[in-house]
Amino acid sequence: MGGGDVKGLSALMLFVPPQGLSLFLLALSAALFLGIGALALARWGFGLPTSPSAALRTKRFPMGVSIALAGLALPLA
């Protein structure tokens, strides 16, 4: 987890009420699971060394997208 992801997650936690913490963690887990699955599927289908997307070329997972999705899903749930 990079420094920007940690900063984003800690800033997002300020907006999560204590009674909604378990729901937020469930949303974060689901977003991470779906994100890793989608990226693995994209790497399997399109992951070439000459791919224009940095996420498809490297072995790293961009967690910022999953953190943002969990933050957006919390008010909807």
Residue 1 has pLDDT above 70, yes or no: no
Question: Residue 6: which pLDDT band, with cuts at 50, 70 and 90?
Answer: confident
Domain boundaries, the chain: 3-11+22-76
Alpha helices in 14-62 (DSSP H): 21-46, 54-57
pTM of the model: 0.75
Q: Is 52 helix (H, G, I), strand (E, B) or coil?
A: coil
Q: Tell me the per-residue pLDDT of 9-61, one tens digit each, with 9 for 90 and over.
A: 888 888 888 898 899 889 889 988 988 888 888 877 776 677 777 766 777 77
Residue corresponding to tokens 């997972």: 61
Question: Residue 4: which pLDDT band, with cuts at 50, 70 and 90?
Answer: confident
Q: How many residues does the chain have?
A: 77
**How far apart (Å, rounded) are the C-alpha atoms in residues 27 and 18?**
15
